[in-house]
Amino acid sequence: MLKKLVLYFVTLCTSAMKIFPAEFSHELGLISLRLLCLLGFRVTQNNDTNIIFKGISFKNKLGLAAGLDKNGDYIDSLASLGFGFLELGTVTPRPQQGNIKPRLFRISSQEALVNSLGFNNKGVDYLVERVSVRKSSIPLGISIGKNFDTPLKKAKDDYLICLEKVFPYASYVAINISSPNTEGLRDLFNKEYFSDLISSLKLKQIELSKTYMYVPLFLKISPNIDNNFLKQLVEVILEENIDGIICTNTSNIHNHPSGKGGISGKPLLELSTEILVTLRSLVGKDFPIIASGGVMDLADFQRKLDSGADLVQIYTGLIYKGPALIDRIINAD
């Protein structure tokens, strides 16, 4: 009973933060979560489970998508919410401010967010420092990207720098070339760059695995691709032995006051799940897939699993529903 009351109170606080601008609420929410955790707040899992996925042990199939904790400042606090894993980042070799504010918007009527953040982060060295002092043992994915001013022909170098620095600390590494908020980033999917980038990262992974434990590489894909293009991507991914796919990133939006950005939340559910179903048919039943996009309740979570996902991530659902959403999913009967 006490647990339900506390979750209800935290959910009310989550709703109350909607009176503030979205990006300010983002930071305020994380700071508030840290304070709550210091006071003993936890979302506990009723049944002990142990899911082995790519050699990693997860206590449940629900994870936090990249973007909420870009710098690893809130790992222990977020781990206390009951997640099975967290994905940090996206992080770049050098610190960068990201796009001009305002760059995060709510569409409350659709339970959606529009972001044009642009990989704002404190740099890979800062993130590694934060990860190295964490107390929680929760599995960590780390999403890597390129700096905004790095030319596409040199983008590979940014990804290799980040991969080498996060490799000793990550449970898996997510290759993010699908964000719509860094100018030209999605051009890295073009033949001119894609195969070389993927093969170079794979070679670096093999090299690093001689010194450290093997860390899987996951490619995060866009929902704004057709089936023919997806098939071409899958052919390269399988040929290069990339370990898994994250399906999907946010979707392009152009008719918004921000001018551009990526939409997440409920409007992304159908599109991202359609991609997921097609992707599963292309890669076969055993290839690892982490699903992300539009999960706002237990039914959405189960739909992702039924559509072929091995693990599922949330982000916008947490913003709108609060930690009670995590409790409902991980403690479902």
The four Cα atoms 31, 35, 41, 45 give a dihedral, to 10 degrees, of 40
- Domain extent, residue 250, equals 2-330
pLDDT score recorded for residue 16: 60
CB 144 within 8 A of CB 164: no
pTM over 0.75: yes
The four Cα atoms 155, 158, 163, 169 give a dihedral, to 10 degrees, of -140
Q: How far is CA 225 from the centre of its chain?
A: 19
H or E element, residue 131: helix 124-132
pLDDT score recorded for residue 66: 98
What would the pLDDT profile of 281-325 be if each residue is shown by its tens digit?
A: 999 999 999 999 999 999 999 999 999 999 999 999 999 999 999
Active site residues: 179
pLDDT score recorded for residue 4: 62
pLDDT score recorded for residue 251: 96
Q: How many CB atoms lie within 10 A of CB 303?
A: 18
What would the pLDDT profile of 229-286 be if each residue is shown by its tens digit?
A: 999 999 999 999 999 999 999 999 866 665 578 999 999 999 999 999 999 999 999 9
At 112, list the tokens: 């959606």
CATH number at residue 272: 3.20.20.70
Contacts of 164 (CB under 8 A, 6+ apart): 204, 208
At 28, list the tokens: 């305020």
pLDDT averages per 10-residue partition of the chain, 333 residues: 59 67 87 90 89 94 98 98 98 97 93 95 98 98 98 98 98 97 93 96 98 98 97 97 98 71 96 98 98 98 98 97 96 88
Domains identified in the chain, total number = 1
Residue type, 56: I
| Cα dist from 307 to 137, 143, 205, 247, 269, whole Å | 29, 24, 30, 11, 12
Give the SS3 label for residue 324: helix
CB 321 within 8 A of CB 71: no
